[in-house]
Amino acid sequence: MATFPMEEPMCLIENQESKGLTVNQEALQILLGITQPVVVVAIVGKYRTGKSYLMNKLAGGKNGFELGSTIQSKTKGIWMWCVPHPTKQGHALVLLDTEGLGDVEKGDSKNDAWIFSLAILLSSSLVYNSLGTIDQQAMDNLHYVTELTERIKVKSPEGQATEEDESGEFKRFFPSFIWCVRDFTLKLEKKDVPITEDQYLLDALELKNGVSKRVQDYNLPRRCIQHYFHSHKCFVFDRPASTSDSLQRLEELQESELEPEFVKKTTTFCSYIYEKCNAKVLVGGYTVTGRLLGNLAVSYTEAIRSGSIPCMENAVIALAQIENSRAVQKALAKYEEEMSKNIGKFPTETQEEFLNSHQECEKEATKVFMGLSFKDENLEYQKQLIHELAEKKSKYSLYNEEESAKKCKAILQKLSESLERDISEGKFSKPGGYKQFLAEKNSLVEEYNKTNDKGLKALEILQEFLTEKENVEAAILQADQSLTDKEKEIEEQRAQTEAAEREKQIVEEKNRRLEEEMENQKKCLEDHQKMLEEKMEEEKKKIIEQNEWMIKEKLKEQEDMMSKRFHEESEMLKEQIKDLKKQNTAAGGRSLVGDILAAVLLPIALAGQSTKTSETEEFCPSNCYAGRGRGCNKRC
């Protein structure tokens, strides 16, 4: 399988008569493996106009995309070439070469319209390649732009009462527009005054006044180009070579064999693409990676295959579901990676030490999630993350306790070797044996308590050990003939009291640890809240900035329309500007993230938490040993 960077282009969207448009899985896997932001440059235009040559130059070579030397179109579907971006560090340059529009062999203008639409949907910069001049014929060849409202939907039609004109939103989503005019032989002059290439394009896009059908047909493609694309650039190229034979062998020629002006303009064109064309972004300013681009290609192509119209909103929602699920898994993997570094420190001496480690690991995991997730509007995936992090914390907490129990048992086993031997040899089965047993037992407990790094289960494991010895102790006590019955009764009561006191300490320790855990959970939620607020503020800032840019662009359009007395268009733009200002006002409102977290996340985080153990439930007034129930009718 080919990998990134690719040595040669590969078909991304195949166009077969029997199957229609389909995504090539091998090419898709390459995109899915690109985690860098992508600058996506797509080129469209009539077949045999030299599109592939420009794309090869952008890729840094002469060969790659097939140029072809006959009237037959070489490129079918959409071909892709992914290379490291020459000037933008940490970015990939994705070049998309489309099959020629208007190929007589296809005889299917609908197919051309879909290829054109996909090029717009997938790219951050669209290059339109044509021959000769920007005249009415060139505009007629670009009629696909007038059909975009029928080929692309911004919002899902579900829930819309009427068919809305969404073309006012196209500028926000569409790529930049670059018109390359090939084999240009005219002088760049207007009324004998030199003009720039960009001015030449703007003049060609000038609208005519009038209401006749002829004027409307003339204005329609020009109006679409002006209003749909967020920037406009033009390059005019001389013929690359003077002879037909040379033109047919273009990919074989050295630069020295090409016309100097053509070579110079090609270099200028490539430099502009490298420096000025930005990474593709989704609504809200989310930067598109190769992985996201691959999923977008699948979403849009499947929509076309199913007979529906590609919808940007639906595609982004589907994309968000895929990427947010991935964000959860990546975050959990980060937690595991960080937490595994602490396993060597288990058992921790205190609950606080464990919880602090957990909090730091959860914070790192949350950072990963925040960096990868987007449009998690109902916090569905963040809730999932918090729930699964809580489960993983429980797993590590249990492991920490098991390690403590294992260590404590090993310590007790070693310390009790002498005591066990003396018991088995009957050393304490004599007058005064009970005191001797107590002395050895107390010495063992003292040594045990002095031992460090036992962990959280130290008291509980000691209690288990002493409970196991209770019957032996009672037997030695009763067999000791040096003690009176009263003394034996006192000793028995003392043993029960000590056991109950230790049990009380265990309960108090559990309650204290529960309080620490709840406090730690609160801190973790505060970390989630802080990062979520920062993310939402950043997203809000991007939306406002994008809207401000849209307002600025539409004000310029409105001013232009008013100066040319296009009153209807001017009023339409006025309404669009008003709506954008309302959006900014709403976006700048009070953040409800704290309320969301309190109402949604906190109950999840605290669900299943144990409540404090009541001392009155565990101990009876007579301080009998909890759990043994000797002579007590209380709940012991």
Res 486: pLDDT? 95
Query: Which of 20-29, 189-198, 252-261, 427-436 is the least confident region?
Result: 252-261
Tokens representing 126?
Answer: 């669209």
Helix (H, G, I), strand (E, B) or coil at 635: coil
What is the pLDDT averaged over residues 544-570? 83
> Got the DSSP string for 265-293?
HHHHHHHHHHHHPPPPB-TTSPBPBHHHH
The DSSP bridge partners found for residue 129 are: 45, 180
Angle at 332 between CA 329 and CA 333, to 5 degrees: 85
Res 627: pLDDT? 39
Res 602: pLDDT? 55
Tokens representing 292?
Answer: 């996201």
What DSSP designation does 343 have?
G
**Per-residue pLDDT band at 622 (split at 50, 70, 90):** very low
More confident residue, 554 or 471: 471
Which 3-state string (H, E, C) describes 522-578? Answer: HHHHHHHHHHHHHHHHHHHHHHHHHHHHHHHHHHHHHHHHHHCCCHHHHHHHHHHHH
Q: Torsions phi, psi of 512, nearest 5?
A: -65, -40
**Per-residue pLDDT band at 6 (split at 50, 70, 90):** confident
Res 382: pLDDT? 93
The residue among 199, 47, 192 whose CA lies nearest residue 134 is 199
Contact 299, 320 (CB under 8 A): no
Quote the distance between the C-alpha of residue 196 and its chain's center.
42
Place of tokens 């990868």: 372
Contact 419, 441 (CB under 8 A): yes
Res 595: pLDDT? 57
* Burial of residue 299, with CB atoms counted within 10 A of its CB: 0-12 exposed, 13-18 middle, 19 or more buried: buried
More confident residue, 20 or 513: 513
* Residue 75, phi-psi category: left (phi > 0), alpha (psi -120 to 50), beta (remainder): beta
What is the pLDDT averaged over residues 12-37? 91
CA-CA distances (angstroms) from residue 87 to 80, 83, 90, 263? Answer: 20, 12, 9, 20
Quote the distance between the C-alpha of residue 62 and its chain's center.
36
Res 245: pLDDT? 60
Contact 128, 179 (CB under 8 A): yes
Contact 6, 60 (CB under 8 A): no
Res 155: pLDDT? 87
Contact 9, 64 (CB under 8 A): yes
**Per-residue pLDDT band at 398 (split at 50, 70, 90):** very high
The residue among 52, 85, 28 whose CA lies nearest residue 300 is 28
The pLDDT tens digits for 270-316 are 999 999 999 999 877 889 999 999 999 999 999 999 999 999 999 99
Task: Indicate whether this model's pTM tops 0.85.
Answer: no
What DSSP designation does 365 have?
H
For the chain, what is the mean pLDDT? 86
The pLDDT tens digits for 440-486 are 999 999 999 999 999 999 999 999 999 999 999 999 999 999 999 99
User: How large is the angle between the packed helices 417-424 and 433-450, nearest 10 degrees?
Assistant: 160
- Cα–Cα distance between 264 and 519 in angstroms, integer? 67
Number of alpha carbons in the 13 Å side-chain half-sphere of residue 308: 14
Helix (H, G, I), strand (E, B) or coil at 162: coil
- Cα–Cα distance between 472 and 582 in angstroms, integer? 82
- Cα–Cα distance between 84 and 481 in angstroms, integer? 92
User: Virtual CA dihedral for 369, 371, 375, 379, nearest 10 degrees?
Assistant: 30
The pLDDT tens digits for 500-522 are 999 999 999 999 999 999 999 99
Q: Where are the domains of the chain?
A: 10-148+174-310, 419-513
Does the domain at 10-148+174-310 match CATH 3.40.50.300? Answer given as yes
The pLDDT tens digits for 134-175 are 988 899 888 899 999 899 999 887 655 556 778 888 988 999
CA-CA distances (angstroms) from residue 636 to 38, 497, 609? Answer: 67, 14, 23
Res 538: pLDDT? 87
The residue among 58, 76, 80 whose CA lies nearest residue 16 is 76
**Per-residue pLDDT band at 625 (split at 50, 70, 90):** very low
Res 461: pLDDT? 96
